[in-house]
């Protein structure tokens, strides 16, 4: 079930706020960490997946996402979301991450159209640095699009949602979620994976983001999954 505002988790450690987003794989909530008096984000698998025969696979992927972000959080990068906790509430797995106040790049471009060149380049460089850091850790994101880039304060971009990220692996054909249909390169959509190709796909995604933020279009495809 979708939790209601005010619901307490972990014996009152967290209090659920509003729903921030809901997709085919997960639900994200804004919540309050009562001990620290700090806003956080709590992500859970979508309840409808519990009836899917492959639900155990989704849970494993969910836990994998948490561990990958936790690995990156050991040496925090200013442009990558941080994870702080992973727990079970009843039978529901919960991933706790930092709350980033502000809009996504998708929302910003959708509202005001093409960004000034200097602003767009600033965001592109930051996400490029974040992806390079991810690759240095032996990981790949695979889903970097404007909807997964939050803007913190003025001029600071943060890469979120590592739900289909993974380790750089030998050449395989993968049946995993291929990523955002409006942004994923054709090789990724077809499921081909190898270390160099995974990195190239992440870099292509970064270039497409740059193209979409500089051109007068609202990146509407970034919410297709």
Question: For residue range 1-23, what is the model confidence (pLDDT) as tens digits?
Answer: 689 999 999 999 999 999 998 87
Task: Tell me which residue has tokens 């040496």.
Answer: 75
Domains and CATH numbers, the chain: 8-98 (3.30.200.20), 105-223 (1.10.510.10)
Confidence of residue 72 (pLDDT cuts 50, 70, 90): confident
d(CA 24, CA 66): 18
d(CA 104, CA 152): 9
What is 138-169 written as a DSSP string?
A: TEE-----GGGEEEETTTEEEE---TT-EE--
User: For position 184, what pLDDT does the model report?
Assistant: 41
User: For position 210, what pLDDT does the model report?
Assistant: 60
Mean pLDDT over residues 117-146, rounded? 88
Which residues share a beta bridge with 192?
Answer: 173
Contact status, residue 28 vs residue 19, Cβ threshold 8 Å: yes
Distances (CA, A) of 33 to 8, 9, 100, 164: 10, 10, 14, 27
Inter-helix orientation angle 105-112/195-214, to 10°:
30
Exposure on the CB side of residue 159, measured as CA atoms within 13 A: 33
Mean pLDDT over residues 161-170, rounded? 63
Higher pLDDT, 144 or 10: 10
Q: Residue 121: what are its φ and ψ, rounded to 5°?
A: -65, -40
Q: Does residue 174 have a pLDDT over 90?
A: no
d(CA 194, CA 173): 9
When the pLDDT of each residue in the chain is averaged and rounded to a whole number, the result is 79
d(CA 191, CA 108): 31
Known active-site residue 143: yes
Q: Which of 82-86, 169-173, 174-178, 190-194 has the highest mean pLDDT?
A: 82-86
Selecting among 75, 85, 129, 143, the annotated active-site residue is 143
Confidence of residue 57 (pLDDT cuts 50, 70, 90): confident
pTM: 0.75
- Long-range contacts (CB closer than 8 Å, 24 or more residues apart) made by 31-40: 31/96, 33/96, 38/99, 39/99, 39/101, 40/14, 40/84, 40/96, 40/97, 40/98, 40/99
Distances (CA, A) of 35 to 12, 101, 203, 216: 9, 20, 40, 45
Helix, strand, coil content of the chain in percent (nearest 5) = 35, 25, 35
User: For position 149, what pLDDT does the model report?
Assistant: 93
């Amino acid at each position: 079930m979708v939790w209601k505002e005010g619901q307490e988790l972990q014996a009152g450690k967290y209090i659920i706020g509003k729903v921030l987003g809901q997709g085919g794989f997960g639900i994200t909530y804004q919540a309050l960490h009562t001990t620290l008096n700090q806003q956080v984000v709590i992500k859970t698998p979508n309840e409808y997946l519990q009836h899917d025969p492959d639900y155990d696979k989704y849970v494993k992927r969910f836990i994998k996402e948490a561990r990958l972000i936790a690995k990156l959080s050991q040496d925090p990068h200013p442009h990558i979301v941080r994870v702080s906790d992973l727990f079970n509430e009843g039978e529901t797995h919960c991933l706790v991450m930092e709350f980033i106040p502000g809009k996504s790049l998708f929302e910003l471009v959708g509202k005001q159209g093409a960004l000034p060149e200097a602003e767009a380049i600033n965001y592109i460089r930051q996400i490029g640095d974040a992806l390079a850091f991810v690759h240095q850790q032996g990981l790949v994101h695979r889903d970097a699009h404007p909807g997964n880039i939050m803007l913190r304060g003025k001029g600071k971009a943060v890469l979120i949602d590592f739900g289909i990220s993974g380790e750089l692996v030998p050449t395989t054909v993968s049946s995993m979620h291929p990523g955002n249909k409006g942004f994923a390169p054709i090789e990724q959509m077809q499921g081909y994976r190898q270390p160099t190709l995974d990195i190239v796909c992440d870099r292509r995604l970064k270039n497409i983001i740059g193209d979409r933020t500089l051109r007068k279009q609202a990146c509407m495809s970034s919410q297709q999954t």
